[in-house]
């Protein structure tokens, strides 16, 4: 109740300043002052002032618990261990480690593929219209670029 009254007083004072500024024929500035002056009453009516107070109180309580409760320290330790484990798995995966999975076999029932995926030869393609049109050199270059993923 007191917060709402304080916000109303702030808005009234701001609107009085806006009226005074408009009297001096500075309408654009007066409109800006009125817009800012209406904010406190709007925040109070929407309940955001009390929400801010509750957030501030909760943050202060949490900070006090952080200082005085060892369980909060242990919680941050657990979060740190979790981050380290996740980072380590990302690092191992980036270096080429596997998760125990093998690539799919080339032949159903085979234990592993005959050639790794990266060393398998790409099938040779022939250009449409097999007549020699002078572009056969470019077809070879195109095939090499496609193999390298460019």
Q: Mind listing the pLDDT tens digit of every residue in the chain (150 residues)?
A: 788 899 999 999 999 999 999 999 999 999 999 999 999 999 999 999 999 999 999 999 999 988 888 898 899 999 999 999 999 999 988 888 776 655 555 556 656 555 555 555 565 555 555 555 566 778 888 888 888 888
Nearest to 3 by CA among 43, 55, 59: 43
Q: Given this model, what pLDDT does residue 130 score?
A: 53
Q: Given this model, what pLDDT does residue 56 score?
A: 94
Instruction: Write down the domain spans for the chain.
Output: 1-46, 58-94
Q: Which of helix, strand or coil describes residue 59? A: helix
Q: Given this model, what pLDDT does residue 29 score?
A: 93
Q: How far apart are CA 93 and CA 89, in angstroms?
A: 6
DSSP 118: G
Q: Given this model, what pLDDT does residue 83 score?
A: 95
Q: How far apart are CA 53 and CA 49, in angstroms?
A: 6
Q: Which of helix, strand or coil describes residue 134? A: coil
With b for 16 or more beta-carbon neighbours within 10 A and e for fewer, the 3-26 pattern comes to eeeebeeebeebbeebeebbeeee
Supply 40's token pair: 């406190």
């Amino acid at each position: 109740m007191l917060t709402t009254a304080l916000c109303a007083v702030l808005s009234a004072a701001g609107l009085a300043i806006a009226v005074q500024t408009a009297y001096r024929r500075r309408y654009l500035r007066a409109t800006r002052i009125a817009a800012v002056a209406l904010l406190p009453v709007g925040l109070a009516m929407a309940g955001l002032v009390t929400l801010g107070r509750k957030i501030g109180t909760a943050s202060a309580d949490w900070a006090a618990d952080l200082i005085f409760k060892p369980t909060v320290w242990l919680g941050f330790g657990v979060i740190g261990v979790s981050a380290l484990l996740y980072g380590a798995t990302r690092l191992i995966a980036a270096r080429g480690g596997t998760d125990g999975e093998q690539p799919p076999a080339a032949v159903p029932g085979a234990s592993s593929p005959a050639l790794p995926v990266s060393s398998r030869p790409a099938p040779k393609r022939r250009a449409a219209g097999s007549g020699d049109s002078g572009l056969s050199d470019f077809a070879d270059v195109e095939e090499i670029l496609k193999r390298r993923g460019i």
